[in-house]
Amino acid sequence: MVRDGVEDLEIGLLLEALFQRYHYDFRSYARASIKRRLLQAREQLGFPSLSALQDSLLHDPATLGRLLSYLTVQVSEMFRDPGYFRALREKVVPHLRTYPSLKVWVAGCSHGEELYSLAILFREEGLEERTIFYATDINPAALRAAEAGVYPMEQLKKFTANHQKSGGKSSLSDYYTADYGRAIFDKSLRSRVVFSDHSLVTDAVFGEMHLISCRNVLIYFDRPLQDRAIGLFRDSLARKGFLGLGSKESLRFSTHTGAFAEFDRDEKIYQRQDA
Amino acid sequence: MRAVAIGGSAGAVQALLRILPGLPADYPQTVLIVVHVPPDRDNALVPLLASRCAIAVKEAEDKEPTQPGVAYFAPADYHLLVEADGTLSLSSDELVNMSRPAIDVLFESAADAFGPQLTAVVLTGANSDGARGLKAVMAAGGAGVVEDPAGAYATAMPSAALEACGEAKTLNLDAIASYLLRL
């Protein structure tokens, strides 16, 4: 049924070139979205064809950074899906309180919206001091943005409403200063954060986590790659550790589904259980 | 594998209530639907239409294989795409035509996946989402159907689709319903 057009061939070749030249592996990403993003990059970067884009990619490393911003860009907002953060606050935090020290992994942190949401939530709940956050992404530019913690002021109205709906116990404005149309988040929020380059496609376990939050990342993967990532999460979680996914993601189709119990079905929060 | 992709915005719920209940439970095509809905709201469309239709109606899930006789709705705040193997993908990418889900995103990916086996339908709406997608569908050999702007609740969307695709069939809602039955 697949109609093997030239463009589809070019996409396969370009992704292979990207992997062999720079070790960024998008070959197992869900193809329909990758195709949209590649065609958008081709058009906006001004190449006549994907083959021309590939040629530039192979010979000019500067093209890599420009292409990555198309392939990995994730739009998000702080406290996106407030019900998720409310469930973390009301149902997961009581479990986390029983541990003397905590590790939290924000996998695919992009520009850091989810990371800062969790850091604020943990501060409000008095858990921040005993927690180390790991914020990982494959795109170095995204990691720099996450580390900077600066967002356009026009987004703050939405962020603030989300924070309130999530059961926020403070005012979001306590955590940032406004400056020329930008909100700059307090650097103390990242004093317990380790930012790191990590790929769910090619990298391995790096610590034992009590909570992993990975939202709207797995939907970009094909089924086998989703399975790899979920296996990685299972192996990275402490006994009874928690895994939070995006509102339209689930473990239902995964081969690792037996390793997790549904902790909050509506908010897609899972708990590792021993086999 | 054959499929019908439907997109609509303002007034689309009433339009779908005129079209979908006419399809029989053993309808031989997969039906994929994008309706612009506010991002924060749970999709009330699915239970509403499920209660009125003979075909199965559900919200699309990520990496779900499609089946004939089932209508899949894009969830609020996610784009719906079709992969080459006929499975569905969701995406949280930026808004397209100020919408997520966007009709163009569904139509363009469905055109790739189904080619000439696809029929795409643009219904009522007050923006131009779907026009570019319909063009892609017809370029891949699929059939294009547009709700007659003369009788549409909002004319902008069907008018934009017709402007982009002059060869698309222009039909009123009852004619669309019987057209889909004959596929």
Give the torsion sign (CA, A225, A229, A230, A231). Answer: positive
Tell me what pLDDT residue B38 has.
81
Mark whether B9 is an active-site residue. Answer: yes
CA angle A251, A96, A243 (to 5 degrees): 15
CA angle A189, A83, A109 (to 5 degrees): 40
Give the mean model confidence (pLDDT) for residues A209-215: 98
Q: Is the pLDDT of residue B41 over 90?
A: no
Q: Domain-by-domain residue ranges, chain A?
A: 6-71, 82-272
pLDDT band at A275 (very low <50, low <70, confident <90, very high): low
Give the mean model confidence (pLDDT) for residues A107-135: 97
The whole-angstrom separation of Cα A249 and Cα A230 is 11
Mean pLDDT, rounded, of chain A: 95
CB atoms within 10 A of CB B182: 5
- What does the H/E/C string look like for chain B? CCEEEEEECCCHHHHHHHHHHHCCCCCCCEEEEEECCCCCCCCCHHHHHHCCCCCEEEECCCCCECCCCEEEECCCCCEEEECCCCEEEEECCCCECCECCCHHHHHHHHHHHHHHHEEEEECCCCCCCCHHHHHHHHHCCCEEEEECHHHCCCCHHHHHHHHHCCCCEEECHHHHHHHHHHC
User: Could you tell me the CA-to-CA distances from A216 to A33, A46, A73, A213 in Å, in that order?
Assistant: 13, 29, 12, 10
Q: Is the pLDDT of residue B40 over 50?
A: yes
Tell me what pLDDT residue A2 has.
44
Range in A73-77, B41-45, B55-59, B118-122 with the lowest mean pLDDT: B41-45
Percentage above 90 pLDDT, chain A: 94
Range in A87-96, A246-255, B146-155, B172-181 with the lowest mean pLDDT: A246-255
Tokens of residue B9, six digits: 């915005």
User: Which one of the listed residues B77, B129, B159, B174 is annotated catalytic?
Assistant: B129
Mutate: best of A6, A9, A11, A31, partner B, most B CBs <10 A: A31
Query: Could you tell me the residue range of the domain that residue B76 belongs to?
Result: 3-182
Tell me what pLDDT residue A132 has.
98
pLDDT band at B39 (very low <50, low <70, confident <90, very high): confident
Range in A69-83, A144-158, A170-184, A225-239 with the lowest mean pLDDT: A69-83
Measured in residues, chain B has a length of: 183
Mark whether B36 is an active-site residue. Answer: yes
Tell me what pLDDT residue A56 has.
98
* Number of domains, chain B: 1
Please say whether the beta carbons of B104 and B80 come within 8 A.
no
The whole-angstrom separation of Cα B153 and Cα B172 is 11
Contact A216/B92, CB-based, under 8 Å?
yes
Mark whether B62 is an active-site residue. Answer: no
Percentage above 90 pLDDT, chain B: 95
Q: Is the pLDDT of residue A3 over 60?
A: no
B65-96 tens-digit pLDDT: 999 999 999 999 999 999 999 999 999 999 99
Would the pTM of this model clear 0.90, i.e. be above it? Answer: yes
Give the mean model confidence (pLDDT) for residues A18-24: 96
Percentage above 70 pLDDT, chain A: 98
Give the mean model confidence (pLDDT) for residues B143-152: 98
Distance from CA of B113 to the nearest CA of A (A): 6
Contact B84/A216, CB-based, under 8 Å?
no
Tell me what pLDDT residue A252 has.
84
Distance of CA A116 to the CA centre of its chain: 12
What is the domain-level CATH number for residue B157?
A: 3.40.50.180
Tokens of residue A177, six digits: 């200063």
Which residues of A fall within a CB distance of 8 Å from B89?
A: 30, 32-33, 219
Q: Is the pLDDT of residue B119 over 60?
A: yes
Give the mean model confidence (pLDDT) for residues A116-128: 98
Question: Could you tell me how many CB contacts below 8 A there are between chain A and chain B?
Answer: 76
Higher pLDDT, A222 or A74: A222
CA angle A14, A15, A17 (to 5 degrees): 60
B3-23 tens-digit pLDDT: 999 999 999 999 999 999 999
Tell me what pLDDT residue A5 has.
83
The whole-angstrom separation of Cα A80 and Cα A158 is 9
Phi-psi region of A184 (alpha: psi -120 to 50; beta: other; left: phi over 0): beta
Give the mean model confidence (pLDDT) for residues B104-117: 97
Long-range Cβ pairs for the range B91-96 (8 Å, 24+)? B91/A30, B91/A33, B91/A219, B91/A220, B92/A74, B92/A75, B92/A76, B92/A216, B92/A219, B92/A246, B93/A33, B93/A36, B93/A37, B93/A73, B93/A75, B94/A73, B94/A75, B96/B129
| β-pair partners for A177 | A184
The whole-angstrom separation of Cα B20 and Cα B46 is 12
Question: Shortest CB distance from B89 goes to which of A30, A37, A252?
Answer: A30
Tokens of residue A126, six digits: 């008095």
The whole-angstrom separation of Cα A162 and Cα A166 is 6
Tell me what pLDDT residue A104 has.
98
Tell me what pLDDT residue A4 has.
54
Instruction: Name the CATH superfamily, with its identifier, for domain A82-272.
Output: Vaccinia Virus protein VP39 (3.40.50.150)
Tell me what pLDDT residue A274 has.
76
Mean pLDDT, rounded, of chain B: 96
Residue written as token pair 């689930």 = A250
Tokens of residue B164, six digits: 């982009």
